[in-house]
Every structure is written in C-alpha cells, then in structure tokens.
Amino acid sequence: MKAVVYVENGRFEVQDRPRPVIRDPRDAIVRVTTASICTSDLHIRAGAVPRAVPGTVIGHEFVGVVEELGPGVRGFEVGDRVAVNVETFCGHCFFCRRGWVNNCTDPAGGWAMGCRIYGAQAEYVRVPYADNGMTRIPDHVTDEQALFTGDLLSTGYWAADIGEVSEGDTVAIIGAGPTGICTAMCVRMRNPARIVMIDVQRERLDFALQHGLADDVVCVPEEDPEAFLKSATDGRGADVVMEVAGGRDTFQTAWRIARPNAVVVVVAMYEEPQVIPLPDMYGKNLVFKTGGVDASHCQEIMDLIAEGRIDPSVLVTHRFGFDDIMEAYDLFANHRDGVMKVAVRISEP
C-alpha cells in the first residue's frame, strides 16, 4: 500500500509499505478515507518526544471504514465508518479506570499510531484496542466533520473540562490556531459570558470572530492582553485561562491574565522549560493543570457534531488527493495561504 513515511528529521516521503494485519484479537484494520496533518507530525524526530523510528508510517488524525476486525472486538462491524482516537488505551489499568487514558500503563498504550507503530497517512492502518480507540460516525456526519474528533477536539473537550469552565465565566484562550479553535468550540458549549482569544496573527483571530468562537480578540504585541482582561472584568482578570500557544512568552501571559484563584490550563507543548515565578504570583492562589490530553470523550464529541452543535469542518481550509499529500505537507508546514487544517482524501468513503 501507499504510505507517508518518516525518513529523517523534517523529511517525509510516500513509499510502498506492506498492508497491516491483525496482530491481537482486539485490533481492527481500518481503510483510511480522509486524513489530516497535525503539527506534531512535523515535529516527529528521532531521539526526541514524540519518539519515532525512521521508516515509520506517520499520521494519527484520520477517519475511515472498518475493513477487518479481530475476534475480541465487540462494538463494531466491518463496514462501519469510524473516527479514531490518537491515544491507544487499555481501558482497565489504574489510570484508564479513572479516565486518565493519556497515562495508560499498558505496553501498547499512549500515542502509538503514527509514532511507535505504523500510522494513518496510508491506505490502511491497524488500530489496537479498537473498542476503545474507535467512535462510529453517524451517516449524516461527513468525514471532514468527524476528522478532528480523536485529537484536536478531544484536546479542546479535555481542556474545557479540567479548566472547570462554568456559565458566566470569562475565558481567555491564548493561541487561535486549530487547537485554540477547537478549545473555543468546547468552551462555548459551557455557556461562558465571553471568550477572549489572544494570538499574534490577526487572520487567525478574524477566523475565530467570523465563526462565533471569540467574543473579543487581542492581537499581540500591538495590544496588551493583561490590560484588556483587566478592563473586561472590573480589574479581576480571566476566570479560566487556556494556554494553547506554547510560544516564548505565552506561559507568562497565561498566569498574568488570570484572576486570583483561577484555573490555568496548559494545553501547549513547549520547546523549552518554562519558569514559574512564584514570588511574583504570590497571593494569586492559582491552580495550574498541565497537558496532555485524556482523549476519553470521543462519543460525547461525536454526539455534539451529530446534533449540529459544533462543526469542526470549518477548520478545513485546503483539500488534497493522496497523490498530492507532499504538497499538503509543504503548505501546512510553511503556514502558507492562511491554512488552518488540510484534509487529504485517501480513498472514497
């Protein structure tokens, strides 16, 4: 089969790879219909986190059709359209039982597909623990609507949940890229008084405004997020802060714009260690909650999509056929043409 292979740091190419086979009774083989490219795909490199071995088929953001099922898979049938979770988890270890699937202790658990095992920018992919890792897509939900369920939207859903966002809150989201947009979608479901999005790119903030996902925007460095949040909240600051950006100064912005006793959720992945200046924040009594995502609410997310309450397909700004996937990489990696997310049609649904 055709597959995108991680060759060496920053280099990917389409190669021929053997079609995956069932290895465990709980596996499924999924024929990939639509796949996307995630920023973390671009950051895959040997010796770093995530750890991928050169020669690995990459990709973990995708939807497809069940082609084959191991005898231990209970909840699916061949032919089902499914969204697939970025995280593989066993469902019964200490962490899984508490919903903390990101820390599943099973040897197969964690971010496996497109990292430690062959991923989904390919015609077929093996999904381990398929009963936990797949979510059925209702007929009236399109591939593009379902595409972000297992990763970006799971991240947004998890962030809104652990951020304890409640009705009437002022929620600040730092970073208006795809993850920030998905976070805003899930925060919106909790009826905050307002969502303030902060970014360095005006066009991303405009995107959030156009889709009703931000009530106010702050474009840095021209505008000052701390001053804006103070003026918007009688001097208090944001009730909840989502730090999604992972930029050089964004962690400092996150705690500064938070009101006393706020929850600051750190969704971002940083390139470098960050400093928590405790003397400067003494008395703010902040609660920090750190990433990564426990992607254990895919069914709730699919229900929201099916009911028309969120439409993540707005994120798809560019579409490609499988033959042009390297063009999609080039566009996405270089942030050209206002790209948010790409959808690559791998096969017909």
Does 93 engage in binding with Zn ion (CB under 5 A)?
A: yes
The span from the CA of 267 to the CA of 245, in Å, is 8
Give the nearest distance from C-beta 117 to Zn ion in angstroms: 16
Binding to Zn ion by CB under 5 A, coded x per residue (else -) over 97-136, reads -------x-x------------------------------
Which residue, 90 or 328, has its beta carbon nearer to Zn ion?
A: 90
Contact yes or no for 159/153 (Cβ under 8 A) = no
Which residue, 106 or 324, has its beta carbon nearer to Zn ion?
A: 106
Give the nearest distance from C-beta 104 to Zn ion in angstroms: 3
Contact yes or no for 117/128 (Cβ under 8 A) = yes
Which of 338, 331, 344, 325 is CA-nearest to residue 4? 325
One of 38, 90, 112, 241 touching Zn ion (CB under 5 A): 90
**DSSP, res 188:** H
Which residue, 89 or 148, has its beta carbon nearer to Zn ion?
A: 89
One of 28, 37, 38, 96 touching Zn ion (CB under 5 A): 96
Contact yes or no for 316/120 (Cβ under 8 A) = no
Interacting span for Zn ion (CB under 5 A) from 88-96, 142-150, 235-243, 290-298: 88-96
Binding to Zn ion by CB under 5 A, coded x per residue (else -) over 290-329, reads ----------------------------------------
The span from the CA of 117 to the CA of 84, in Å, is 15
DSSP 145-185: HHTTTTTHHHHHHHHHHHTT--TT-EEEEE--SHHHHHHHH
Interacting span for Zn ion (CB under 5 A) from 96-104, 177-185, 219-227, 322-330: 96-104
How many other C-beta atoms can be found within 10 angstroms of the C-beta atom of residue 206? 16
The count of chain residues that interact with Zn ion, using the rule CB under 5 A, is 6
Catalog residues that contact Zn ion under the rule CB under 5 A: 89-90, 93, 96, 104, 106
